[in-house]
A and B are shown apart, each in its own frame.
Chain A
């Protein structure tokens, strides 16, 4: 059955634009997924709801978003896996087994988010209360895939690193300095965000959503509010919608500035870090002056935005962005013309477009590997329907391409910022939001700086959150990083890793 027919059967879903939902049985679950894959669609996420008895999967397709729901039959402990169709489903399915119980029929049954912190038969999102006997001394045995052969040895890195950075374990199999295989082990930053959501009120959840991954605060809180407002039928005032886009682009600009500096530093070019850090700081201060916060954690709120900026503060913000853009253009010339920096960036960590398409590389890293997919262009919500951002796509797929995409996107975000400031509508910035009825279900989907940020929200009784599943694009991109490292030399890995700059907190939840 082609994708069109599945979409026709589905019913509209509140929240994200052009979203549709469909309840399927186990056979149709795989059939529909196959139809999405055949039509070139992408897997967004996969999670369990309804006390772990309903599997849900979201897909982005050309005509819109399709959310499949698979209620498990009584007594059924497994559901059909879709790892063969969407490789990124591997870790999502393992995370579902860890947190909610149901297992996929795919062969990799190793835990993913669960370390030795809780027993294998305890499922935090389903269970009431804590695990029966929390054993703090349990030692985890996790079977990494071994590489055999003459001269092959393993380098275990992390989760405790030499610098103050986030925890992740990387197991390199190397010959000399050459990487034969990299296997990641994540989940060290798991802090039970999804379960915490279930003890919050629907109208408060945006605050936790903004803190899922600190560098994507606007994207997460907007996605959460999009779902909530869709469920409640709230009409958000135009000025608020435009201000949200302003916040989202500022977030993108600040992160791109930070990454560009860090990439220079990882290439041993500390001059870049010093300059870009200075520019990022200027932007953060201008953001604080205009919107009241350096990082916009409590900017997007249900029904609108938290602050109505003064016109002169916005003018100052626009002027600051123009100044920064001029300097960024100059710094780009330095990066482009510096032989040492070019040598480090070019050809490092290459992910060719074919591999990127097969593995489902998404977001910024995807666009550097020829994956022309940007929610702001492909499934735009207000005000991007009017702003019409230009998508930046490169085909080389190496560190240099990811740097170039960041530079181009920064310039494009500056342009959008100017457009927003020039055409910002007047009016209120916030309306009140009705509490959605129990059982209401909506999704939010916003293009954060790293890629598509997804939030699925289900209303519980008495205005509480029944289930909230935030999803970070890092889930799609972490596995691709394993492939990007193959054939490179060990000391180039930190640079490759930084060029992806994937989330730990947003992934580990």
Chain B
């Protein structure tokens, strides 16, 4: 482990923390443009966080310590996840601490705490949101695992930086299995990050909410952490997507210059991904809640198809 590796590791986490709200702001800006609206400031999510951190928290009298602890747990898991996703370099000291399956487990941990906290105060909407979130989660997780398994089969490893490195270094060619899984992954990303068509991050209609319904009782610093964590989750998913499907342009042990070059490349990837995400969200309407399982079943099916295609092609 060289000093550069540790530097990369630190940079990964710091950049994720700092850039996640920016990524969200960029998506919102693209959405506004696509809808012919004047866009809000790119920095709006930061202003929102600053505002929330300066407020006094209001907590329901019957809230248990779990309710107070959940924001820190959720935020913590997202930061940990950011540490093992190779967004700028693959030689990460934390690589061996958590492979891709643990990564899915980290997301699941955050989900469990979020859902428990939502039910803790006992309002109708929190329970409603938690119920829907668990429904989405138990369908999205297998699809995500299946996506990772395809990449694992190709590269014969389950740690994400290693997968990414081997995908980048193997000879350039079309991988039909990865094409299937890329579509599946995009669908999981939309569902897991409360984006249209599964959930609507901009809605004020409490009866239709999934993610927002779980946060209704939170205020001030707790809400800020939850929102920051949500932005981090989206950033992490984008990072996983880059690692699996466009793994080039990160430092694979080439030295400080490669690390330096990876920063603008990451920005470029995020800008393109954000614009694409905004486009998908603009041309879609929100699905009826009972269509969400179909949506995620399709994602799972595509991932399984990717797996089968891989096995078939390798056998041939």
Option from A163, A275, A278, A490 in Cβ contact (under 8 Å) with B128: A490
Indicate whether B134 reaches chain A with its CB closer than 8 angstroms: no
Verify if A398 is at the interface (C-beta below 8 Å from B): no
Per the bound structure, the CA–CA distance linking A160 and B289 in Å amounts to 24
Chain B, 177-234, CB within 8 A of any chain A CB: 196-197, 200, 202-209, 212, 216
Flag whether A493 is at the interface (Cβ < 8 A): yes
Does B314 interact with chain A (Cβ within 8 Å)?
A: no
Q: Say whether A340 contacts B128, CB under 8 Å.
A: no
**Taking A161-B206, A274-B36 as contacts, is the C-beta distance between A489 and B288 under 8 angstroms?**
yes
Most buried by B among A161, A165, A269, A489: A269
The residue of chain A having its C-beta at the shortest distance from the C-beta of B209 within the complex is A162
Given contacts A267-B286, A270-B35, A491-B207, contact A343 B128 (CB under 8 A): no
Find chain B residues with CB under 8 A from A340 CB.
Answer: 197, 284-287
Answer yes or no: A127 CB below 8 A from chain B CBs.
Answer: no
**CB of A271 within 8 Å of the partner chain:** yes
Type the 1/0 row for A147-177, where 1 means its CB is closer than 8 Å to any CB of B.
0000000111100011111000000000001
A127 to chain B, nearest CB (A): 38
Task: Count how many pairs of residues, one from A and one from B, have CB atoms less than 8 Å apart in the complex.
Answer: 84
Using an 8 Å CB-CB cutoff, how does the interface string of A471-494 with B read, 1 for contact, 0 for none?
000000000000000000111111
Contact size class for A? 20 to 34
Does A229 interact with chain B (Cβ within 8 Å)?
no
A439 to B223 Cα, complex, angstroms: 61
User: Is A156 touching B124 in the complex (CB atoms < 8 A)?
Assistant: yes
Is B111 part of the contact surface with A, judged by Cβ < 8 Å? Answer: no
B291 pairs with A268, CB closer than 8 A: no
Q: In the assembled complex, which residues on chain A have CB atoms less than 8 Å from the CB atom of B291? A: 343
Residue in B37, B204, B285, B290 whose CB lies within 8 Å of A268? B285
Interchain nearest-CB distance for A179 vs B (Å): 10
Instruction: Pick the residue among A155, A264, A491 that contacts B208 (CB under 8 A).
Output: A491
Main secondary structure of the interface of B (DSSP, over half): loop
A409 in the interface (beta carbon within 8 A):
no
Does B59 make an interface contact (CB < 8 A)? no
Cβ of B91 within 8 Å of any chain A Cβ, yes or no, is no
Q: How far is the CA of A264 from the CA of B206 in the complex (A)?
A: 17
Tell me if A266 is interfacial: C-beta within 8 Å of chain B. yes
- Are B36's CB and A266's CB within 8 A? no
CB distance from A490 to the nearest CB of B (A): 5
Asked whether, in the complex, the Cβ of B34 is within 8 Å of the Cβ of A271, the reply is yes
B31 sits at the interface (CB 8 A): yes
A177-B290, A489-B290 in contact; A341/B285 too (CB < 8 A)? yes
Contact B196 A162 (CB under 8 A): no
Contact among A156, A162, A274 with B205 in the assembled complex (CB-CB below 8 Å): A162
Q: Which of B35, B36, B206 contacts A162 (CB 8 A)?
A: B206
Q: List CB contacts (< 8 Å) of B265-311 with chain A.
A: 282-291
Bound-state CA distance A504–B9 (Å) is 57
A171–B285 alpha-carbon span in the complex (Å): 27
Report the separation of the CA atoms of residues A359 and B289 in the bound assembly, to the nearest whole angstrom: 30
- The one of B35, B205, B287 in contact with A271, judged by C-beta atoms closer than 8 angstroms, is B35
Separation of A341 and B216 alpha carbons in the complex (Å): 27
- Can you name 21 A-B pairs with beta carbons within 8 Å? A154-B124, A156-B124, A161-B206, A162-B125, A162-B204, A162-B206, A165-B204, A268-B196, A268-B200, A268-B203, A268-B287, A269-B285, A270-B282, A274-B35, A343-B285, A343-B288, A344-B285, A344-B286, A489-B290, A491-B207, A491-B208
**Interface on A for B, CB 8 Å cutoff?**
154-157, 161-165, 177, 264, 266-271, 273-275, 278, 338, 340-341, 343-344, 489-494
